[in-house]
Amino acid sequence: MPFSSLQLHPDLARAVKDLGYTQPTPIQLQSIPPALEGRDILACAATGSGKTAAFVLPILQRLRELPRGTTRVLVLAPTRELASQVEEQVRLLGKHTRVSSAAIFGGVGMGPQEAAFRRGVDIIVATPGRLLDHLKAPYASLANIEILVLDEADRMLDMGFMPDIKRILAMLPGKRQTLFFSATMPAPIMELTRKLLHDPATIAVERKQAPAKGIDQAVWPVAAELKSALLVALLKEGVLKQALVFTRTKHRANRLAEVLAKAEVSSTRIHGNRSQAQRTDALEGFKKGRYEVLVATDIAARGIDVEALDHVVNFDVPAMAEDYIHRVGRTGRADETGEAYTFVSPDEESDLRTIERAIGARLPRRTLPGFDYAARTTQRFEVPIAERIAEIRKRKAEERARAKEKLERRNLRAAEEAGRPAAGRGNGARRAAIAGSQGNSGQRASAPTSRPGAGDGGSSNGAGRSSGGTGESGRRRGSSGGGGRGGSSAAGRDRPSGAGRPTGNPYAD
């Protein structure tokens, strides 16, 4: 059935054609008509099934004729990559319309995002945490939201976003259309849908979990310490060309990227400890073919959309069948074909059997001819967690020691600088005392004063007392200047008054 059967506006049909889409996917075919009618949607859609267009197209059609300057649509997504991907689809599908959009997520400056709120873009695609940061300010408001989309709701639940989502929901108008998309429907998600949705159109909720059709899946048994060597061999022999490789942890992603770099394989990595600029560069570089391999953790499993991606590799077997489905779903998207390889060490066999039971199939086993599966290596791929913690503690202790030394040096310099001006003031006092005695040589010398509070206790004070030539007006002037105990008042006390100031004395001023 062609897209023309969905009765989309010509501007949208034109954008769909520009993107090369010819027929709607099942989720699009079932979701778009009721969404255009304004009904709530509850859709259980596998990753790679085309669900983004399933909610973007009806939203764009509804917004086309509405006035600009008001944010009417909010899309919530679990990761920065997915938020960016959805917003990109909004721009591509809406390029022949006047509909505006903005992506709101962390890791980048808030200034342009604030400007989008103030401008009133039509559609905001946001991660929950950064959205709540903006909602603390008066410029950000959700009061005019007419359509809410929760994309990858189960992933947001897994990532602990549910409290944030509930806070956001409390700020939305009660009367709105809600489009709810999730790859799985665990009990907490179903409970949330009952509270959010009113008479929804329910789509494919009971479908069996399985990777998309067109994905050739295979298992590569290999010892844990030889996984990186096998990956390099598959790349060098051309079995793999461009591959998205998933690891279990950020540490293993970093280590694998180091191994690939040493093997002269162009690669990059993406995970939660990378800055947003690094993550964006990695994803864009991979899409444009600058990198053969993108190493990622599960943070990217639902946020990477690469056209015609040939291979996905599970470097580590995922602990849950759902994660396996989301990972391999990065290939074979939109009716394309692809291959998904899983490296399995002996201690991961039980996790693999769980996955095979969930998808209802035993995956074929493969080996690489000529690869030495019995090889032994002394180089550890992953440093044990206890050693990593010890190294972190050692590094932190060294940083604290350096900070302490730096503070001590700073305090020492400050003490030395404080001492130098004090000595200078003492010298100035002595010069002033000399000037005072010269300027008042014709006057009767007065006895040194012992009056307290006039600057006793400094070397300059002693100089002032020893001069014996201080006039009464000079004493009054020094006293009124707030003579402190450090000697500066002595200089004031020793300065002669204006009436007695000699014109040729270089110390008079």
Q: What is the pLDDT of residues 477-508, one digit of tens each?
A: 444 444 444 444 333 434 344 444 444 443 33
Provide the pLDDT for residue 74: 98
Contact 315, 192 (CB under 8 A): no
Architecture in CATH for domain 3-203: 3-Layer(aba) Sandwich (3.40)
CATH number of 215-391: 3.40.50.300
Provide the pLDDT for residue 3: 78
Provide the pLDDT for residue 473: 41
Provide the pLDDT for residue 147: 97
Which portions of the chain are predicted below pLDDT 70?
1, 47-48, 205-214, 299-308, 332-336, 378-380, 382-388, 421-509
- Class of residue 83 by CB neighbours under 10 A (exposed 0-12, middle 13-18, buried 19+): buried
Provide the pLDDT for residue 91: 95
Helix (H, G, I), strand (E, B) or coil at 203: strand
Provide the pLDDT for residue 493: 39
Domain boundaries, the chain: 3-203, 215-391, 452-482
Provide the pLDDT for residue 238: 92
Provide the pLDDT for residue 467: 41
Rounded distance between C-alpha atoms, residue 359 and residue 209, angstroms: 6
Rounded distance between C-alpha atoms, residue 63 and residue 51, angstroms: 19
Provide the pLDDT for residue 60: 96
Provide the pLDDT for residue 421: 58
Instruction: Say if 3-203 and 215-391 have the same CATH topology.
Output: yes
Provide the pLDDT for residue 229: 94
Provide the pLDDT for residue 73: 97
Provide the pLDDT for residue 415: 87
Helix (H, G, I), strand (E, B) or coil at 339: strand
* Residue with the two structure tokens 């690891």: 247
Token pair recorded at residue 198: 């009113």
- Other Cβ atoms within 10 Å of 123 Cβ, number: 25
Provide the pLDDT for residue 492: 40
Helix (H, G, I), strand (E, B) or coil at 248: coil
Global model pTM greater than 0.75: no
Provide the pLDDT for residue 182: 85
